Amino acid sequence: METVNFLSSHGDLRIDASFKDITTIKMGGKIKYLVSPFDLNRLRLITTYLKEERIPFKVFGRGSNMICGSGDYDGCIIRLEHLNHYHFDKDSVEVEAGMMVPRLANVLASQGLSGLEFASGIPGTIGGLVYMNAGAYKKCMMDVVESVTVLKDGELCTLSRDEVQFSYRSSIFHKHPDWVIVAAKIKLTKGSVNEIKELMADRLRRRKATQPLDKPSAGSCFKNPEGDFAWRLIDAAGFRGYEYHGIVVSNKHPNFITNEKDGKAEDFIATANLIQAKVKSEFNVDLKMEVEIFNC
């Protein structure tokens, strides 16, 4: 009861929520505590408390890149949906980690500020995209991020772009799961409002035409191997349309594995493992997962 009282006094709290409700692929077990801190200071208090009480925790964004196990999570999931403010500083924008990227991209477009068009269709938060160094259309977050503000051991610090150690779909935060991304500074350039909006609209049309956006998924399942595309290898290995216990390799885009009949993380992982094994056997290529596996 003490933990419930503490968390509820510093954020919106749900008890026994489900990972199904906070992931785009709609799967996973129950969560003991799900809390959304009211502000940055409350986030600091909550993370400090959880560490002192030895309660495991993880920060979630939109859950668009997560595969969560069917077992219950006896810890706390922190969502930063209240940390969604931004302000402009000359030719850049400082934005809190909980801000949804499509929303931010639209704000920037309306003011004729270019830089984030490539990410305008990615259904995630700024914090999540920085964590993953997410990208599309041959651009990624490392191309636009100037610095990242991080909560480390109860203290705020700022990491330069180089200190973030961006690499393909990765960053320093993968090595430090207890560090919490709270904001990022993104560099921008002045552009035409109409041209920016048209580019974003074109990218959205392309996504709708080539990706199964109407099905629950976690986005691209595998990273592209050097010099090739994961979807091509999956297709060549004969997995387009493959189904296992409600988990389906998309006919529209084979690197999207969708959850169409209340599938479970274990079924997703079994399907991914099968794909990896066959691609390795037939093409001698090691496909690496892009999605994050949690609580499995």
Residue 220 known to be catalytic: yes
Q: Which of 18, 169, 217, 250 is catalytic?
A: 169
CA distances from 185 to 17, 50, 130 (A): 32, 28, 11
Contacts of 72 (CB under 8 A, 6+ apart): 29, 30, 31, 32
Catalytic residue from among 18, 120, 217, 220: 220
Active site residue 217: no
Active site residue 147: no
Active site residues: 169, 220, 290
